[in-house]
Structure 1
Amino acid sequence: MDTTIAFIGAGEMAEAIISGIQPSEQFTNALTVINYSDKVKLNRLQHLYNVNATTDYEEAVRGKDIIVLAVKPKNLHDAILSIRPFLTKGQLIVSVAAGITLATIEQLLPKETVVIRAMPNTSAKVHASATAISIGTFATEKEVKLAINLFTSIGSVSVVNDDQMDAVTAIAGSGPAYFYYLAETMINSAIEKGLSAEEAKAFVAQTMLGSATRLSVSEKPANELYQEIMSPGGTTEAAISYLNETNSNLRFKEAIDHAYNRSTAIGQAFSPSKK
């Protein structure tokens, strides 16, 4: 029997998860999406992925096994208030809103509601998300397994403590954007040096894929892997030496720190103690 899922929100993350789990037999023809404010997005998802679409919150959530809160953090409070009257015992609430803690979500929901917080990324579209989940107060082994099955269908899953989720958000949640940013620079540089756009993209994409694969299977730390490529007086040494001289690694770490700090600030802004 299919596991039924309601997605509250029809944005990028909702689409990434939906497109990733579509081939799964467990979730086939069992998806409902609601987006009250943007019917264009809602209609697009309905036609592209053959999901059930509605603007009625009661219709969206009633009887569903899993309800995914896939809204922006600023909209989470209103989304929960909209579905709260129609929730019943035994439903699993999964929040993918960055920064909002389990304690905040649980306080907004009816007493003893089962909540799991998740941080997937948009690589879910190609079944390659690195997803972290943290487990709420009332979740049992059954609900944890259900959440793991959901996110395993779109990539890898790790269980972490809720206070580690801001770090996961800064690294894995935002991470694909960092690599696309780097890829853009490499592609543009390759084009400037005579490669076509198609050739540049192919070289960069395969190089990133190969590097990621090597990193994932190697027991060596990242710094040893790049040092292996650095011959004295060679091209790689010239590039890495320049990056070190300009403190590029420090600047990149500071960028990640900004993402982390923003995630913690969002959580603090919506914390029950701030109300």
Structure 2
Amino acid sequence: MGTTIGFIGAGEMAEAIISGIQPSGQFTALTVINYSDKVKLNRLQHLYNVNVTNDYENAIRDKDIIVLAVKPKNLHEAILSIRPFLRKNQLIISVVAGIRLATIEQWLPKETVVIRAMPNTSAKVHASATAISIGTFAKEKEIKLAKNVFTSIGSVSIVNDDQMDTVTAIAGSGPAYFYYLAEIMINTAIEKGLSAEEARAFVAQTMLGSATRLSVSEKPASELYQEIMSPGGTTEAAISYLNESNSNLHFKEAIHHAYNRSATIGQTFLTSKK
């Protein structure tokens, strides 16, 4: 029998994880609860053959792992709803952005085993870059269990909890940055005469090739793009304009905004509820 999982929440991150882990066969009896959107629940049931429920006890009963996948503002209420039904040998995994381990452990019964994770939506294609941080009472068994979940949808790294805001800004939000850039490149290509299909194919393959090269090369990113820059050439013209317009600084500031937002969420909930 595989590992059983209950999902509290049915949003994009829950779906990304479910769609990634479901084909592996390691995880069974996937159950999802979500009070705010029954349409999403029905969709998940249809697409991934998961069990759905509106009963918290049913969602977590006999589950090895309970994944908290709600919005930060709803996490405290969700934990209060499941507290009466928790067992000591269950592993709680939070994929909620910003809210720290200390806060989650404070809201849960004493000595509850908690691991905090930050995957991204590339889990849908088994390519998530996931960071996990380990709670006070988690032992090697629970760490291995969490790793099994997230290695089934991509890579996993263990970080300190105080590094999770950085991971959130880089890896959690990161796919959106690349999609944003892809949108600009695709739209510009269409404006310059390519069809939408051609533009999308060229951009997707170019991004895939660049990511692959970066992952296998020992060279820094700066050296990789400089290799493409012939003096007086097209790439130099583009990169020079980006540098002159301080695009690198603007993008860096955007990442800082994501980091600061994650940190603010954590501080807001650190002592706001007992």
**Does the TM-score normalized on the shorter chain lie above 0.5?**
yes
Identity %: 88
Look up the match of 1:171. Answer: 170
Number of aligned residue pairs: give it. 274
1:162-184 CA distance string (max 9 Å, x none): 00000000000000000000000
1:42 Cα shift?
Answer: 0.7
- 8 A Cα contact 1:2 1:26, kept in partner: yes
Unpaired stretches in structure 2, ≥5 consecutive residues: none
1:89-114 CA distance string (max 9 Å, x none): 11000000000000000000000000
- Alpha-carbon RMSD across the aligned residues, in angstroms, is 0.9
Look up the match of 2:188. Answer: 189
- 8 A Cα contact 1:57 1:82, kept in partner: yes
| Partner SS for 2:63 | coil
Structure 1 CA distance for aligned equivalents of residues 192 and 88 of structure 2: 61
1:157-205 CA distance string (max 9 Å, x none): 0000000000000000000000000000000000000000000000000
1:6 aligns with 2:2: no
Structure 1 CA distance for aligned equivalents of residues 144 and 2 of structure 2: 15
| Partner SS for 1:23 | helix
Look up the match of 1:124. Answer: 123
Kindly provide the amino acid, as one letter, of the partner of residue 17 in structure 1: I
Unpaired stretches in structure 1, ≥5 consecutive residues: none
1:274 Cα shift?
Answer: 7.2
Structure 2 CA distance for aligned equivalents of residues 128 and 37 of structure 1: 29
1:84 aligns with 2:83: yes
1:15 aligns with 2:1: no
1:56 Cα shift?
Answer: 0.2
Structure 2 CA distance for aligned equivalents of residues 132 and 154 of structure 1: 12
1:266 aligns with 2:265: yes
Look up the match of 2:112. Answer: 113
Structure 2 CA distance for aligned equivalents of residues 165 and 4 of structure 1: 26
Q: 1:31–1:274: structure 2 CA closer, same or farther, 3 Å change rule?
A: closer
1:100-156 CA distance string (max 9 Å, x none): 000000000000000000000000000000000000000000000000000000000
- 8 A Cα contact 1:107 1:272, kept in partner: no
- 8 A Cα contact 1:117 1:133, kept in partner: yes
Look up the match of 1:150. Answer: 149
Structure 2 CA distance for aligned equivalents of residues 149 and 111 of structure 1: 25
Which range is displaced more, 33-42 or 125-134?
A: 33-42
Structure 2 CA distance for aligned equivalents of residues 266 and 130 of structure 1: 22
Structure 2 CA distance for aligned equivalents of residues 136 and 252 of structure 1: 33
Equivalent residues in 2 for 1:85-104, closer than 5 Å: 85-104=84-103
Kindly provide the amino acid, as one letter, of the partner of residue 270 in structure 1: F
- 8 A Cα contact 1:268 1:274, kept in partner: no
Kindly provide the amino acid, as one letter, of the partner of residue 6 in structure 2: A
Structure 2 CA distance for aligned equivalents of residues 221 and 145 of structure 1: 32
Look up the match of 1:53. Answer: 52
Moved over 6 A (4+): none
Kindly provide the amino acid, as one letter, of the partner of residue 48 in structure 1: L
